[in-house]
Structure 1
Amino acid sequence: MSSTIPTLGFAILAVLAQADSTGYEIASRMRHPVSRFWTASHSQIHTDLRRLLAAGLVGYTTAPGPGPQEKKIYSITGEGLDALRAWVTEPPRPQPERDELVLKTYAAWLADPVALSEMFRTALRHHEERLAEYEATWADVEQDMPAFGSPRFGNMAALRCGLTYERHRADWCRWMIDQLSRSLNPSCEAS
């Protein structure tokens, strides 16, 4: 079953396992905190919701909406919860790695070191900003650490991964800036 469900479908099931939600609420929850590790557009979410409905993995009820149409409130079904539980322990599917900054680094020998250094300074600022955001969120989490089995445990574990990732990327950007600086000022190496 899991081979026929796209990974985004499982992300949606994971969101619904925490709380019944409208399509808009799912998209909002996919922006934060899920966007730290998985992104999707509103149209992708609705496409996968239709697939999950057809497969019997989610259902919905209707309620009065803000406009003339009723809103759909989606919930995970028992079959959807079983599929999600089985999927969680399967090894991740191989995914092609796509990291534009690393690709640019691979071809960096062709670039102007000053321009390249500025690109890495910009990347460093972005990683430091995200790291500061994650650290502030982590400080709140540390006040009330959730136990395994709580939906908040998954949020905490994903945040912890994000913290280490942003620290690693910031360190790597600093290393690249240092390497570029040394290439621009070879006399600094001798001192």
Structure 2
Amino acid sequence: MTSTLGFAILSVLARGDRTGYDLAAAMRRPVGYFWTAGHSQIHAELQKLLGAGLVGFEAEHGPGPRDRKVYHLTAEGTRALREWVTEPPRERPERDELVLKTYASWLAEPELVRRMFADQLAAHETRLAEYERHEASFGGPPAPGDPRFGNYATLRCGMGYERHRAEWCRWMLAQLGEG
């Protein structure tokens, strides 16, 4: 059974062949907005995908002494990805460090808690502004059959998340008062 990270890699390769380095870059942006993985995790998962016949590679002459591998999705990989896309997502436990800190915030100095929420508000507003600039570059939503549709749809989800978090931080700051 392929892991969720494996399917994330297959999703990137469905958009075009990539080297391991290019895969890691795509996993940072745009995939990193909603799914993260380190280079070592990606490399290990690529080996599993190769072993399962879901990806293949072609060796090309690289800039250094070693050939570089350009990975591609196999027909079996495409089939597995198509099946996986429409399966309901697995339920995962929620982990949110800021919410956990809020739960215990009554133990901390109120001014430090306010500062933490002010910093979080600024970070969420900055990301929202970045996402909004990126959204403007689309010129509207692509058609659902266009690979860019997934980029746009996930960007819209990220915008909603950042708006929600910024609103919650504002609410928390109002609850915490001016000090």
TM-score of Structure 1 vs Structure 2, range by shorter chain = over 0.9
User: 2:173, 2:63 → 1: CA distance?
Assistant: 51
- Note if 1:54 corresponds to 2:46: no
Alignment: residue pair count: 179
- 1:64 is matched with 61
- Normalized per residue, which structure has more helix? 1
- Note if 1:156 corresponds to 2:152: yes
What are the superposed Cα offsets for residues 135-183 of structure 1, whole Å, 9 maximum, x if unpaired?
A: 0001111x1531011110000000000000000000000100110016x
Moved over 6 A (4+): none
What SS does the aligned partner of 1:114 have? helix
- 1:189 is matched with none
What SS does the aligned partner of 1:38 have? coil
What SS does the aligned partner of 2:69 have? strand
- 1:34 is matched with 31
What SS does the aligned partner of 2:64 have? coil
- 1:83-98 correspondence runs (5 A): 83-98=80-95
User: 1:19, 1:129 → 2: CA distance?
Assistant: 31
- Note if 1:165 corresponds to 2:161: yes
User: 1:181, 1:88 → 2: CA distance?
Assistant: 45
Percent identity between the two aligned chains: 61
What are the superposed Cα offsets for residues 27-65 of structure 1, whole Å, 9 maximum, x if unpaired?
A: 000110101000000000000000000000000001011
Bigger drift between 107-116 and 163-172 goes to 107-116
- 1:127 is matched with 124
What SS does the aligned partner of 2:92 have? coil
CA RMSD in angstroms, aligned pairs only: 0.9
- 1:74 is matched with 71
One-letter identity of the residue aligned with 2:65: P
CA drift at 1:90: 0.7
Task: Give the structure-1-normalised TM-score.
Answer: 0.92
